[in-house]
Amino acid sequence: MDRLSRVPIFVAVARHGSFAEAARRLGMTGSAVSKQVQRLENDLGVRLFHRTTRQLSLTDEGSFLFERSAPLVEGIEEVGEMLAGRKAKPEGSLRISAPVALAQRVLKEPLTSFASHHPGIQLHVELSDRFVDLVGEGFDLAIRIGHLEDSSLVARRLSDVPMVLVGAPILLAEYGTPSTPEDLSRIPFIHYASERAVQRLKLQRGSDEPVQIATQAKLSTNNDQMMVSFARAGQGLILLPRFMVESELDDGRLREVLPEYRLFPERKLYAVFPHGRHLPLKTRALIDFLVDELAMNNPSTKGSGF
């Protein structure tokens, strides 16, 4: 087996994060996969993986090779699917990452339905509020709210994410219900994942110029449910996606503040994946499915094309 033949084996190990899992997918033994990766390392004169008894992770050189070789391997796989007449039948392992609350409240049913519609795809869903390294950790796709900052990644918009500013009746009774963005500066806030006491919030009404306000944090946390708990106790105002506080708004435990204003720039829900010339059929199938499902559940929010 030559060096080029070993690259797809390396890609499979990096993609699945395990010699054993890669061996199972490739129809090889674990020792054979390990031996071929070691020979590739010897050929290249670099270490591709950090190996411990508990974890397997890419080195910097391994990440470099994976980022550049994975799209080529996936392209060859896609051509093979086309030649085999399997273009309409996506198959294989698909590993995705999504925030916990988003998965529980928005993605749970669409992902369950996708798994039923595509039995040939082995779906692996990891829920975490951290920003995973897609290439380094072997993820095919991540679902994220916000903006795309990493230029090595590509994103497709799945839907809009309406954000709401809310507070408890006890808080609004104490400080008064704000009628303008400027009123927010006198009310304590609960910030998400920040130790900074002051954060700037930009709001826009209709086509007016956005208004920027400095908000003062009384508390901060990196967990949305903790934010909601603090807010319900009257500790401060919070800014979160509407789906995260829907039940609290319905039963009156939280009230929307300045409903005529919207966060600027508006937040979007994205499917994020590594940059490459070819998007695997299985990944495209999931993205298209989520766009359709989310638009069906909320007709006012439509995903965009590539």
Model confidence at 155: pLDDT above 90: no
At 20-79, the pLDDT tens digits run 888 988 889 989 999 999 999 999 999 999 988 778 899 999 999 998 898 888 777 767
At 212-248, the pLDDT tens digits run 999 988 899 988 899 999 999 999 999 999 999 999 9
- DSSP code, position 2: -
Number of domains in the chain: 3
Q: How confident is the model at residue 166 (pLDDT cuts 50, 70, 90)?
A: very high
CATH number of the domain encompassing residue 247: 3.40.190.290
What average pLDDT does range 140-151 have in this prediction? Answer: 76
**Whether 115 and 156 share a structural domain:** yes
Q: How confident is the model at residue 194 (pLDDT cuts 50, 70, 90)?
A: low
How, if at all, do strands 163-167 and 153-161 pair? unpaired
Domain that holds residue 172: 163-263
Mean pLDDT of the chain: 86
With a pLDDT cut of 90, the percent of the chain lying above it is 56
Whether 70 contacts 265, CB under 8 Å? no
At 239-294, the pLDDT tens digits run 999 999 999 999 999 999 999 999 888 888 999 987 765 678 889 899 999 999 98
Whether 199 contacts 239, CB under 8 Å? no
CATH number of the domain encompassing residue 77: 1.10.10.10
**Whether 232 and 113 share a structural domain:** no
Model confidence at 84: pLDDT above 70: no
In a domain, 305, yes or no: no
Q: Largest Cα–Cα distance of the chain, in whole Å?
A: 74
Which token pair is 260?
């005529």
Q: Is the pTM above the cut of 0.85?
A: no
Q: What are phi and psi of 205, to 5 degrees?
A: -115, 120
Q: What is the pLDDT of residue 88?
A: 60
- DSSP code, position 300: T
CATH number of the domain encompassing residue 273: 3.40.190.10
Give the dihedral sign, CA 299/245/143/190.
positive
Model confidence at 189: pLDDT above 50: yes
Q: Give Cβ neighbours of residue 122 (< 8 Å, ≥ 6 apart).
A: 92, 93, 94
Whether 50 contacts 58, CB under 8 Å? yes
In a domain, 44, yes or no: yes
Peptide bond into 265 cis (omega under 30): yes
